[in-house]
Amino acid sequence: MYTHKNIQAAIYDIRSSMSVFSGEGCAEHLDNVLTSDVSKLSDTERIDGLVCDSNGRVTDIISCFGIGSEILILGIYENMEMTRGLLTKGIPWDRELLLYDGNDALRHCLIHGEGAMEMLGVLYPEISAIPNNSFVTVGDVIFSKNTIFGEGNIDVIHRVDDDSFIQRVMSNNIGIRTSVEWESVRIGSGYPSENEADSTRLPTDIGMGKLVSLNKGCYPGQEIHARLDSRGSTKRHMVSISCSEPIVLGKQKLDNGLTVHVTSTVELGDMYMALAIVPIEIEGGYVKTASGEKFEIM
């Protein structure tokens, strides 16, 4: 992890989907798709939510930023086409809503670590605080707490043709880590991405149940979510595991008869890390490594 005067944080380049939604009524239309209420999204407000299919399975994890009359939508890059298709589907004939591709114009970085706010203070001493569910700007650079993943994560979004953020990073000898390096941090910290939000898992399976609002208008999967909430029937959750050998991707049957699904793996030095969806009632079990050895899940 890059440090600056013992600040424990690093900046990662994140490959994300960037879209800009505009037109009168775009927030109301987006509200028909998202699990969170964005119908009254205001300027400088941030709202995070999920895109789900009719079976309540997660197809994307997105963040919405109100910028004047437009909405900047940040999502998982690999899930971009499906999400954009949903957003442009069913637009009423009397509304002129436009969805722009911002991938070539915008860049997403994440300041991650316990000292994320301290590092931001080094780079931008003029920023004293970032309110929750909001964002602040310096010039055209956006800074916002990523509360989806808890404290210590600050999203930075800037234009590709604006190097002011990069210049501040370089002048402080901090550096930016790659999206490949982010993958090991993501898995170790339990952050879902395209391998977990792949249209086969419920929000609670991947730790995203908090992004589901049961008090808003209709959206795809709402009936399923309401039924599961009333029954209190959470059956699976996501865990991070690590061992000294590569872990096999896919579904595996444990000795006790339960099934785990290893969704992401990465090599980190002499260790291997993975994310797995496991039964909530699991009290120990084993996943197979590439050599056929077993590694215990606790």
Q: Is the pLDDT of residue 228 over 80?
A: yes
- List, in order, residues 6 or more apart from 66 with CB less than 8 Å away: 27, 41, 42, 43, 44, 45, 46
pLDDT at site 292: 55
Query: Would you place residue 298 in the very low, low, confident or very high pLDDT band (cuts 50, 70, 90)?
Result: very low
pLDDT in tens, 39-54: 999 999 999 999 999 9
pLDDT at site 296: 56
The CA distance from 146 to 163, in Å, is: 22
pLDDT at site 58: 97
Query: Would you place residue 236 in the very low, low, confident or very high pLDDT band (cuts 50, 70, 90)?
Result: confident
The CA distance from 45 to 247, in Å, is: 41
pLDDT at site 230: 80
Kindly report the backbone phi and psi dihedral angles of residue 205, in degrees, each rounded to the nearest multiple of 5, phi listed first: -65, -30
pLDDT in tens, 27-36: 999 999 999 9
Percentage of residues in the chain with pLDDT exceeding 70?
91
pLDDT at site 6: 72
pLDDT in tens, 97-140: 999 999 999 999 999 999 999 999 999 999 999 999 999 999 99
The CA distance from 294 to 133, in Å, is: 43
Q: Provide the residue type at 4 as one letter.
A: H
pLDDT in tens, 245-261: 888 899 887 666 778 89
pTM reported for the whole predicted model: 0.90
Mean pLDDT, all residues of the chain: 89
Q: What is the largest CA-CA distance in the chain?
A: 61
Query: Would you place residue 23 in the very low, low, confident or very high pLDDT band (cuts 50, 70, 90)?
Result: very high
pLDDT at site 287: 58
SS (H, E, C) 234-254: CCEEEEEEEECCCECCEEEEC
Closest CA to 224 of 238, 242, 212, 236: 212
Structural domains in the chain?
Answer: 10-186 (3.30.1360.120), 235-298 (no CATH)
